[in-house]
Amino acid sequence: MSDRVRCNCRRCMIRGLMGPAVVIAVGVLFLLDQVRGGYFSFGNTFPVILIVIGAISLASALAPADGHIFGPLPPAPTGAMPPQNPQGQAR
Ligand SMILES: [Zn+2]
């Protein structure tokens, strides 16, 4: 198992589907190539992979990122106070 921080927001969950969806799409296209051939040869159907990637990217971009975790955060030291933001840097 990797020790990457797993974000559970909708955007990251959809983005995590990219790899499996591309593998499934490539498998279905090769299956069509083997079973049907001709018009359904991989040379004709490969743009479906781009469509799958684009559709998932679009869905990921449109999904809310509520609760998104920005990168791996170092573990907070126990008993320490959180850093105070100076007044000048407040946005
Ligand atoms: Zn996220």
Encode pLDDT of 37-87 as tens digits.
Answer: 889 999 999 999 999 999 999 999 999 999 898 876 666 656 655 566 656
Collect residues with CB below 5 Å from ion ligand 1: 7, 9, 12, 68
Question: At 56, phi and psi to the nearest 5?
Answer: -70, -40
Please tell me the predicted confidence (pLDDT) of residue 79: 63
Bigger pLDDT: 1 vs 4: 4
CA of 30 to the centre of ligand 1 (A): 33
| SS (HEC) of 11-27 | HHHHHHCHHHHHHHHHH
Please tell me the predicted confidence (pLDDT) of residue 35: 94
Which are the contacts of 8, defined by CB distance < 8 A and separation ≥ 6? 67
Please tell me the predicted confidence (pLDDT) of residue 88: 56
| Contact (Cβ atoms closer than 8 angstroms) between residue 49 and residue 27 | no
CA of 6 to the centre of ligand 1 (A): 8
Please tell me the predicted confidence (pLDDT) of residue 40: 92
DSSP 66-77: TT---SPPPPPP
